[in-house]
Structure formats: C-alpha cells, structure tokens
Structure 1
C-alpha cells in the first residue's frame, strides 16, 4: 500500500497558505501547516515530513533561522524555501544554510509542484518500502541515509544511496556513462573523469561488503559496468 508524502507548509499569509494547501492536497500530498516561525520549527523537528516548504518572512522566527535549526537536527530533511525576496544574497544565504531549493514569489504553481516533486524524488522517498535489503545482514534506509551492515550501524552519503537505488532498479550491469548521466545528471560525459564513479563504488563496497576486494553484492562486469546483487 502506498502512502502519501507528508508536506509541512510554514507560511503566515492566510490566502497563500490556503492556496498552497489546496494545491498540494490536489496533487496527492498529506499537508500540515504552521503560521508562526517557532510553531513551524517545533513541527519540523518533531514531525516526520517528506518535505518542508518554508517561507522566509515569518512571525517570531524567520525562515533562515528555522532552516539552520532544521539542518542542524537532520542533514537529510528536504527543505524548499519560499520567499518574496529574489536578491542574490538571499538565495546564497538560504542555500548556504542547507535549503535544497529556493522559489521566489510570485511563482508559477505548476513549477512549484514540479520542483517539490523533484525534491521529494531526490530525497529517496518512494511511498512504499524505503529500505533496501541486500541480505539479512545488510540493509539501507533510503530516507535517513543510514543502515546496518554486519551488525554495525553505517552512514551513507546522498550520492551513495542514489547509486545503490539506481542499481537496485536495474536488471543488468550499468555503465559508468549511464551512472554519470542518470545519477549525477551530466548530459555529456566525454570530458568527465569517470574515476568519480569508481571512487564512489569503492566507498560503497567498504560499507556493504565483508571483503571489498572480493565483493558479493556490488560486482564489476568488465567492459559492461556495475551490478548490484541481493543475497
């Protein structure tokens, strides 16, 4: 059974809040809201939200401070900043504090939905099982970027999880070029150093293999690419 993604909207303008709530409910989200900065921070820290849509200008606590506090608590929580400001320094400030994306008012509602959807997808949320089980001893949570590997708690980077998730959905070997295009997002790979992929694969093997030099889960097929196996 699929569950709805949970969205927290922190916005003090009643008309905008109503419009955004209706918009995202229509697009399949379970929406919660807050009209005050401190209330938004409390909900953001205690709730389990797929994404937080955060206005900058708020009563009691501004969005920049909320974003900073949320990011200190969780490095994986998807955060979208929403503000009337569009000065470059505000955008830099938001992204420096850990926001994943930034949209300025007035905005296109269709663009906003697309960008929130994209952020949710990049976060690893699937609406179904968010855990990748490679064996009874190796499992990874795609949302929290953590897992258990041979009775040891293991932390992953976002890119490592994206690689594992992509390989998991493929039935055969995946080339370096395909990973660079579909995980890193490069349109052209001719001038890209493919050692970037090799380095990430090596780091993943150290986390999921008993012996990274003789891998059982993440294998290299010479001339074809990488393939992920469940045992």
Structure 2
C-alpha cells in the first residue's frame, strides 16, 4: 500500500487554511495544519513532512522565525514560504533563512500544487552520483546537504544543492530561464523575477569560492548563463 506524502500547512486565515487543506487532500496529500506560529513550529519539529507550507504573518511567532528554527533542526526538511506579492524583502529573508521556495500571495492554486509537488519529488536524492567534487578543496554531498570548502565544513539549502546538481550535469552555460524551468519548476518564466536566481548564485559562490568576486568554479558567461567548472 502506498503512503501519502504528509504536508504541514501553517496559516492563520481560516478560509485560506480550509481551502489549502481541501486542495492538497484532493491532490493526494495527508494534510496536517496549524493556525498559530508556535503550534506550527512544534508540529514541524516533531513530525516528518514531505513539505511544510509556511505563511509569513502568523500569531505568536512569524514565519521567518519558524523557518529559521526548522532549518536549524533539519537541513533537509523541504519548506515552501507564502510571501506577500512583490515584497522583495520577504523573499530575500525567506531564502536567506533556508526556505527551498516561495509563492507570492495571491497565488494560482494550480501553480502552488505544481510547485509543492516538484519540491516533494526532489526532496529525496536518488541515483549513484550523490556528490560533486570541484577540486581537492571543494566537494558537496547532495544527500546530506553538506560539503567541504577549503578545510571548512559547509552547509547547503536544498535549492542550492539542486542548482549545483543541475549545473554539474550540464557541459555548457545554463541561462536563468533554464534554471527557473528545470530547478524551480516554472512552466513560463516571462513574468518571473529572475533576481531569485542571482541571489542563490551569490550564496553558492560564498560557499565554494575563495573569492566570490573572482570566481573560479561558478562562472557567469555574459548573455549565456552560468557554468560550473572543476579544477
């Protein structure tokens, strides 16, 4: 018998919470919920979820603090944040604290389901190649989301590992649009703010480069995209 993926939704608006619960139950998820930030954190720390869907504005504890606490507890727990539309500061905060992805309100329910499903599908790395070795000094384990960089242990978010894995498989520059489609899971990228890609690339460079301003592993080819190099 197959086991349904378990989803935790932390949202304080009753109508939105009911709608999201019904939506994901319909799409085959086992859904738990919390309408309070502290309750959501307690459930997130105690349970094992295929994904945690987390609103920013919550009673008793905001979504950023919850995300930070969840990420400190587990580097591998998939987290999707619900942010305010066009609130760049919220988006940057969510990604900096380790959220794997975000959706801005108001959102398309079909897009939300697709994005959550893509995150759940990618939440377990399979296959034989679970590591990336860029040089004698830099290596990344995709399974544990950790690595070694110039004699220091480095931790990665799931999204950062997905970007590195995708670039590792390619032997040519990868554009922002290609990353948004094949890593983030967007079908259309015409109206998507591509700064989220730049933010992630900058974060990765800080972890794998001696000098992020003059990278040697993760290079930008003007007009073409990003490419990962072994030394």
Which TM-score tier does this pair reach, normalised by the shorter chain?
A: 0.5 to 0.7
How many residues are treated as equivalent by the alignment?
170
In structure 1, the residue matched to 2:77 is: 77
In structure 1, the residue matched to 2:63 is: 63
SS of equivalent to 1:49: coil
In structure 2, the residue matched to 1:102 is: 102
Deviation at 1:197, TM superposition (A): 6.9
Structure 1 gaps, min length 5: 125-129, 135-141, 147-154, 167-174, 200-231
* Structure 2 residue 27 is matched with structure 1 residue 27: yes
Give the alignment of 1:1-231 within 5 angstroms: 1-124=1-124, 177=171, 185=179, 196=228
Following the alignment from structure 1 to structure 2, what is the Cα–Cα distance between the partners of residues 177 and 186? Answer: 18
| Alpha carbons 1:176, 1:197 under 8 Å: kept | no
Give me the TM-score of the superposition, normalised by structure 2.
0.59
1:26-82 Cα offsets, whole Å, 9 max, x none, are 111110000100000000011000100000110000001000111111111110011
SS of equivalent to 2:23: helix
Give me the TM-score of the superposition, normalised by structure 1.
0.59
Larger Rg: 1
Q: 1:192 to 1:5 in 2, by over 3 A?
A: same
Following the alignment from structure 1 to structure 2, what is the Cα–Cα distance between the partners of residues 53 and 102? Answer: 9
Following the alignment from structure 2 to structure 1, what is the Cα–Cα distance between the partners of residues 102 and 126? Answer: 29
Structure 2 gaps, min length 5: 130-141, 147-153, 182-220
1:151-182 Cα offsets, whole Å, 9 max, x none, are xxxx99769x97xx99xxxxxxxx8649x89x
What RMSD in Å do the two structures reach over aligned CA positions?
A: 3.8
Moved more, 81-90 or 98-107: 81-90
Following the alignment from structure 1 to structure 2, what is the Cα–Cα distance between the partners of residues 115 and 132? Answer: 22
